[in-house]
Amino acid sequence: MLSAETINNLIGIDESYKAPIKLQTILNDSNKRVELFNQFLEEENDLSFDWFTDYFQEEHSDRKSKKQDFTPDGIVKLVSSLLGNFKINADICAGTGGLTIKRWSENHNGKFYCEEFSDRAMPFLLFNLMIRNIDAVVFHGDSLSRSVKYIYKLTKGVKFSSLEEIKEQSTAKADTVIMNPPYSLKWNPQKSMLDEPRFKDFKVLAPKSKADYAFILTGLDDLSDDGTMAIILPHGVLFRGNAEGKLRQRIIDLNYLDTVIGLPEKAFLNTDIPTVVLIFKKERQNRDVLFIDASKEFTKDKAHNRIEDKHISKIISTYHNRNDVDKFAHVATFDEIKENDYNLNIPRYVDTFEPEPVKPLHEIMAEMKELDAEIEYTSQELSVMLQELHGTNPETDKEIKEFTKYWVEKYGIGKPQRKEQLTLL
């Protein structure tokens, strides 16, 4: 893994905040970028992962306003494995390209389409694609409003991709769509958007306060009829009502939703919330939905939870077998989902309840004796304290002495025995 210091030295900067502008300047110069690519490859030649994930997350990401939270390696591997083969892969909200890099590592000859809004992320995304000699189109703009800043075409070369700015992008649909969009991002829906192909069949737009379903429908619009889409979102998309409830029902009625996979909490760096992977397919022969509760499939790693190969294998196996697994997976019929009013909350379909084991009688009796000893000890201790208590006037003093007499007659007097001694009695 390249350190921040190494990355800054290679780019030729003394402060990380200068990286995006300097890197974009280098990428626009064919000779300088080739020189930089070769320098990076001398430091790190493993192209199977995104070198900039930690660097960008720590130095450049904006969790507060843009909800940027980069996808951990375990989830990258899981989501890519769920999608399978492809000729064209689309990555919406691509960030610096971690999900695309994983897809590329499984098919070097594929073609790629990426969308990213962040000006600071874009140079890193282009760098990652070009140094891997990838054929790609990159949309630099707003995936929801479709406002565009630049469109880049990357063409595979002898060793590295070339870069050119173009005016229009291809309308070809993707075999696989992969997405980790900003969670519950505020957006600005316009009534005119209902005339757009991605929204017109749904009659309603995602609410201003949460763009999650706008991202889902945008991804579905990029997906081919026989393709597969995987998107990572918060659990709220499974059960929230109003406009989102209508959109969820419409998607299920159209038979687009294939699988719901609940992931562990604390799987991301900047958010502790548990997330869910939704798998969509436009042409499905069956109308059921597979629910997988993988919330306990992790290894504890300091403040975060890590999804490892053994957890991924279990999830993928269950996904392909598509059978009920006790306390882990359930294949829900369409009628079952309708009976739940299209609520997809995973506990409605996968019962993970584990009853507490009944303790042996001798343990229960021992606990009762210990509790009884605790009561006796505390009562005798209070007796001693009451003997030393006096009222501030004759009336209160009389009341205290009467209560003290009652308490001493009931619990005794004198220095109380230790709890350990009483327990042995």
Give the C-alpha separation, 230 to 256, whole Å: 12
Asked if residue 130 lies in contact with residue 102, where contact means CB atoms within 8 angstroms, the answer is no
CA 155, distance to chain mean position in Å, is 32
Question: What confidence score (pLDDT) does residue 68 get?
Answer: 46
Question: Is pLDDT of 418 > 90?
Answer: no
Non-local CB neighbours of 409 within 8 Å, separated by 6+ positions: none
Q: What are phi and psi of 289, to 5 degrees?
A: -130, 130
Q: What token pair was written down for 405?
A: 């007499």
Report, as an integer, the average pLDDT of 159-168: 96
Question: pLDDT for 213-251, tens place per residue?
Answer: 999 999 999 999 999 999 999 999 999 999 999 999 999
Query: What's residue 37's pLDDT?
Result: 98
Instruction: Find, among 124, 57, 125, the residue nearest to 91 by Cα.
Output: 125
Distance between CA atoms of residues 87 and 19, nearest Å:
33
Give pLDDT, residue 230: 98
For residue 140, give the nearest of 132, 129, 282, 131 by alpha carbon. 129
Alpha helices (runs of H) in 225-360, residue ranges in sequence order: 242-253, 309-321, 334-339
- pLDDT value of residue 419: 47
pLDDT score for 407 = 77
| pLDDT, position 327 | 94
Q: From CA 278, how far away is CA 258, in angstroms rounded? A: 8
| Cα 91 from Cα 62, distance rounded (Å) | 20
In total, the chain counts a number of residues equal to 425
Whether residue 421 is predicted with pLDDT greater than 50 in this model: the reply is: no
- The type of residue at 173 is K
**281 pLDDT more than 50:** yes
Q: Are 350 and 327 in contact (CB under 8 A)?
A: yes
**Overall average pLDDT of the 29-41 stretch:** 97
In the chain, the percentage of residues whose pLDDT exceeds 70 is 93
Nearest to 407 by CA among 385, 374, 425, 422: 385
Confidence of residue 365 (pLDDT cuts 50, 70, 90): confident
Return the sign of the alpha-carbon dihedral for residues 142, 143, 149, 152: positive
Q: Give the separation between CA 155 and CA 135, rounded to whole angstroms.
A: 5
pLDDT for residue 390 is more than 70: yes
Q: Please, what is the average pLDDT of the chain? A: 90
Instruction: Please report which confidence band the pLDDT of residue 368 belongs to, taking 50, 70 and 90 as the band edges.
Output: confident
pLDDT for res 59:
61
Domains of the chain: 4-348 (3.40.50.150), 361-424 (no CATH)
8 Å CB contact between 70 and 53: yes
- Measured CA to CA, the distance from residue 371 to residue 46 in angstroms comes to 62
Comparing 64 with 311, which gets the higher pLDDT? 311
- Give the 3-state secondary structure of residue 11: helix
**CA separation for the pair 167, 146 (Å, rounded):** 14
| Residue 191, pLDDT above cutoff 90 | yes
When pLDDT is cut at 50, 70 and 90, the band that residue 413 belongs to is: low
pLDDT value of position 187: 97
Please give the average per-residue pLDDT across 288-314, as a whole number.
93
Query: Which amino acid is residue 132, in one-letter code?
Result: R
| pLDDT one-digit tens code per residue, 344-353 | 999 999 998 7
Neighbours of 255 (CB within 10 A): 18
pLDDT digits (tens, 9 = 90+) for 283-296: 999 999 999 999 99
> Taking 60 as the threshold, does the pLDDT of residue 319 lie above it?
yes
Q: Does residue 5 surpass a pLDDT of 60? A: yes
Instruction: Check whether 14 has a pLDDT greater than 70.
Output: yes
- At residue 425, does pLDDT exceed 50? no
Select the more confidently predicted residue: 354 or 299.
Answer: 299
Q: What is the mean pLDDT of residues 122-151?
A: 97
Q: Which helix (H) or strand (E) holds 19?
A: helix 19-27
**Are 198 and 221 contacting, i.e. CB atoms less than 8 angstroms apart?**
yes
Each residue's pLDDT tens digit, 60-111: 444 454 444 578 889 999 999 999 999 999 999 999 999 999 999 999 999 9
Distance of CA 312 to the CA centre of its chain: 15
| Confidence bin at 414 (pLDDT 50/70/90) | low
Interatomic CA distance for residues 144 and 167, integer angstroms? 19
Output the pLDDT for position 303. 78
Asked if pLDDT for residue 415 goes beyond 90, the answer is no
The single-letter code of the amino acid at 23 is L
Query: From the CA atom positions of the chain, what is the Rg in Å?
Result: 30
Q: Is the predicted pLDDT of residue 420 greater than 70, yes or no?
A: no
What letter would DSSP give residue 146? -
